[in-house]
Amino acid sequence: MACLALAAIEAANKIPPLSMASILQTHDLHKSFGALVATDSVSLTVQTGEVHAIVGPNGAGKTTLLSLLSGSLKPDSGRIEFNGKDVTRTPAHKRVRLGLARSFQITSLILPMTVLENVMLAVQGTTGHSLKFWSPVSKEKDTQTQAMHFLQAVKLQDKSQHLADALSHGEQRQLEIAIALALKPKLLLLDEPMAGMSKEETRKMIDLLRDLKGDITILLVEHDMDAVFALADRTSVLVEGGLIATGTTEEIRSNTEVQQAYLGEA
Amino acid sequence: MRGEQASSWPSHLLARLKGNLPNQVYFALVIALLIAPWLINALDQSFYLDLLTRALIIAIAVASLNLIIGFGGMVSLGHAAFLGIGAYCVGIPTYYEQFNGFVHLGLAVLCSALFALLTGLICLRTKAVYFIMITLAFAQMLYFTLVSLDEYGADDGLVIYQRSEFPGIFDIENPTTLYYAVLLFLLGCLYLTHRMMHARFGRVLQGCKHNEQRMQALGFLTYKYKLIAYVIAGTMAGVAGFFLGNFTNFISPEMMDWTHSAELIFMLVIGGTGILFGPVVGAVLFLLLEEWLSGFSVYWHLILGLMLIALVVFGKGGVHGLLSLGSNRGSQQNTTT
């Protein structure tokens, strides 16, 4: 308990208390691969309703941190609290059901399925069990309607019958978002949604995410600083596995340590 | 593709056949298999009824393998073990003069399902090449266990003097009855597979094949779905073994030798993995070729091997791939039919 309280005090000292409740908190999270420390005592708080960006140079451990949060990696030590519940040892698939969904940095769709079928798979996960062996999914009108609704949200409704494989890179990233939304998350972890996108595609994605803002809490790992400054309420800077600063966009911009570590190079 | 639903099944069938060469071939194949005994009896070629019966029994095993490889992406090199289990479930009771077919069939279902469950629990913790090796290891363990059982003939095997009895229902001592029983069960397995792959379970399973990490991120415990598929497939193959034991009137550990598991994969590849009727095409073609080529030259293995390589290299997706090339390209990518 003493250690817990200490962590709480530490977290409180680092981050100015906000009036909003937090949806995600990590306490002193550690993860190393052999000699490489990928995550170094990260204590992070994400407030309900905000867009929280995590930036940092290549190899800073951004994706590792995201994987720890989503549950695809287990931390060596530390605690993860989601929605007031300790989920440190909760397996990935159960965290999804608790409302913690992620998208992937490398587009990770079921390519031989259609766009609609990809989203329907996600909807299927949130509407009853999937141990149904006989009745065709194509007859589940409700599942279909819901899936179309999420496709509309990312403006892909016209491509619903295309194979995911046949979409452009930008469209595939949009589909990733639709799938993540279909999981009805309380907190959405987005791993570099703008990766590999053209200027035009990036602009569209920023608009799309801005539309989601407020409805849903987003933890955004992103390389594109313009996108971060356009979207984020608060930003945390990760360098060599550890958080060096957290604050509003303005605070981060003017933070000299951050400039040295990251912005200066860019 | 799936959008327009035909109101009645004949028009639904016609819609599926129209302009789709693979489906036309599969439809013709099913018709041919249904009337084959009649034709064979008329021509007095009972040898071919035997050959076809064997091919269809093997086709059941290949169809079950298709469920885990073609739809689930789990490449198993131990599938012949299930054939052996099913066959021993006929052989051992018969040895103790228990001839009741329901007992045999019930045992075959139970034992193969149990073996699939127990080995699957462990095998499915691994992936890719490790999965291949561990399924092979379990099959070999079973093989050597049976080799060591002197009571049941060790590696000489057991002769089954009398086929399973289904008193008052049908008599599978009659080759035509056995043929139709096998064909009926095969078609039943294919229909079940078809339904499953379009239902929620099948969508999740196919998702696991293409991108397991994604399925986990969608909140699915993929292990559970793969294990269920593995048990269903093992049970199907176990029933195929039940038929095989009855058909050959002889069982031996050799039935579950790993080379037979490899042959099952060959047949699946010939027909096209992940294609509903691929196993039937593959098994029938493989056994017919084996028969004809072995009469033609002692080096038939070589010829068969070269044909296989040509099929894999030039016709992507086996016979189904070749047929699709002949069909109009617009309507390809109907993954499950």
Tell me the per-residue pLDDT of B122-137, one tens digit each, with 9 for 90 and over. Answer: 999 998 899 999 999 9
At B307 the pLDDT is 87
Q: Percent of chain B scored above 70 by pLDDT?
A: 95
pLDDT at A118 over 60: yes
B329 at A interface, C-beta within 8 A:
no
Q: Is the dihedral of CA A79, A81, A82, A86 positive or negative?
A: positive
Contact status of A13 with chain B (Cβ, < 8 Å): no
Q: What is the pLDDT of residue A57?
A: 85
Q: Each residue of A164-202: pLDDT tens digit? A: 999 999 999 999 999 999 999 999 999 998 888 888 989
- pLDDT over 70 for what percent of chain A? 91
pLDDT tops 60 at residue A156: yes
Confidence of residue B57 (pLDDT cuts 50, 70, 90): very high
Instruction: With cut-offs at 50, 70 and 90, classify the pLDDT of residue B299.
Output: confident
Position A264 confidence tier, pLDDT thresholds 50, 70, 90: low
pLDDT (mean) for B322-333? 63
**pLDDT (mean) for B298-322:** 85
Mean pLDDT of A139-165: 94
Does residue A27 sit within a domain? yes
CB A83 within 8 A of CB A23: yes
In a domain, A168, yes or no: no
Contact B124, B184 (CB under 8 A): no
How close is the nearest chain A Cα to the Cα of B250, in Å? 36
Q: For residue A14, what are the contacts with CB-CB under 8 A and spacing of at least 6?
A: A43, A243, A246
Q: What is the pLDDT of residue B323?
A: 87
The pLDDT tens digits of the residues spanning B178-207 come to 999 999 999 999 999 999 999 999 999 999
pLDDT at residue A86 above 50? yes
Per-residue pLDDT band for B333 (boundaries 50, 70, 90) equals: very low
State the amino acid at position B29 in one-letter form. L
Tokens for A181? 């939304």
In a domain, A22, yes or no: yes
Instruction: Give the 3-state secondary structure of residue B144.
Output: helix
Using alpha carbons, list the distances in angstroms from residue B302 to A187, B44, B290, B294, B308.
59, 32, 11, 11, 10
Structure tokens at A234: 């608060």
Kindly state the average pLDDT of the residues B86-102. Answer: 95
H or E element, residue B81: helix B80-95
- Please compute the mean of the pLDDT values over residues B296-300 and round it to a whole number: 84
**Above 60 in pLDDT, residue B337?**
no
What's the farthest any 2 CA atoms get from each other in chain A? Answer: 62
Q: What confidence category does residue A262 fall into, taking pLDDT thresholds of 50, 70 and 90?
A: low
Q: What CATH number did the domain enclosing A73 receive?
A: 3.40.50.300
Contacts of B333 in chain A (CB under 8 A): 112, 163
**Is the pLDDT score of B3 beyond 60?**
no
The predicted model gives B23-36 an average pLDDT of 95
Residue B88 has pLDDT above 50, yes or no: yes
Q: Is B207 on the interface with A (CB under 8 A)?
A: yes
Structure confidence by residue, pLDDT tens digits, A185-195: 999 999 998 88
Q: How much is the pLDDT for B78?
A: 95
User: Does A204 lie at the interface with B, CB-CB under 8 angstroms?
Assistant: no
CA distance A131 to chain B (A): 5
Q: Tell me what pLDDT residue B274 has.
A: 94
Would you state the pLDDT for residue B17?
A: 87
**pLDDT the model gives residue A18:** 45
B318 and B271 in contact (C-beta within 8 Å)? yes
Q: Is the pLDDT of residue A226 over 90?
A: no
Most B CBs within 10 Å: which of A131, A135, A175, A184, as the mutation test of the B interface? A131
Higher per-residue pLDDT: B141 or B45? B141
User: Residue B7: pLDDT band by 50, 70, 90 thresholds?
Assistant: low
Closest Cβ opposite residue B207 in set A91, A121, A129: A121
Tell me, yes or no, if B43 comes closer than 8 A to chain A by beta carbon: no
Q: Which domains does chain B have, with CATH numbers?
A: 3-332 (1.10.3470)
- Name the residue range of residue A250's domain: 4-107+187-263
Q: Which of the pair, B289 or A11, is modelled with greater confidence?
A: B289
The pLDDT mean for chain A works out to: 87
Average pLDDT over residues B145-150: 92
- CA atoms of B105 and B162, how far apart (whole Å): 15
State whether residue A145 sits within 8 Å of chain B by CB. no
| Per-residue pLDDT reduced to its tens digit, B148-171 | 998 998 888 899 999 999 988 889
Give the one of B198, B217, B228 whose C-beta lies nearest to A138's C-beta: B198
Under an 8 A CB cutoff, do A136 and B206 touch? no
Tell me which of A129 and B203 has the higher pLDDT: B203
Percent helix, strand, coil in chain B (nearest 5)? 75, 5, 20
Work out the widest C-alpha separation in chain B, in whole angstroms. Answer: 60
User: Per-residue pLDDT averaged across B224-234, rounded?
Assistant: 98
pLDDT at A171: 93
Residue for token pair 């490790």? B130
CA distances from B183 to A13, A199, B78, B163, B189 (A): 74, 59, 24, 18, 10
The pLDDT value recorded for residue B207 is 95
A230-261 pLDDT, tens digit each:
999 999 999 889 998 899 988 888 888 777 77
Q: What residue in A sits closest to B223 (Cα-Cα)?
A: A93
Judge whether A41 lies within some domain: yes
Q: Which residues of B184-205 are buried (b: 16+ CB within 10 A; e: fewer)?
A: ebbbebbebbbbbbbbbbbbbb
Q: In chain A, how many domains are there?
A: 1
Tell me: pLDDT of A9 over 90.
no
Q: How far apart are CA B65 and CA A262, in angstroms?
A: 53
Give me the amino acid identity at B6: A
Q: Which has the closest alpha carbon to B253: B58, B55, B92, B135?
A: B92
Structure token pair of residue B184: 């009926």
Choose between B68 and A6: higher pLDDT. Answer: B68
Mean pLDDT of B237-248: 97
> Which band of pLDDT confidence, cut at 50, 70 and 90, is reported for residue A115?
very high
Pick the residue from chain B with its C-alpha nearest to A189: B217
Nearest to B210 among A96, A102, A112 (CB): A112
* Top-confidence residue, B63 or A10: B63
pLDDT of A1 reads: 43
Percent of chain B with pLDDT over 90: 74
Residue with the bigger pLDDT between A65 and B318: it is A65
pLDDT at residue A263, rounded to an integer = 56
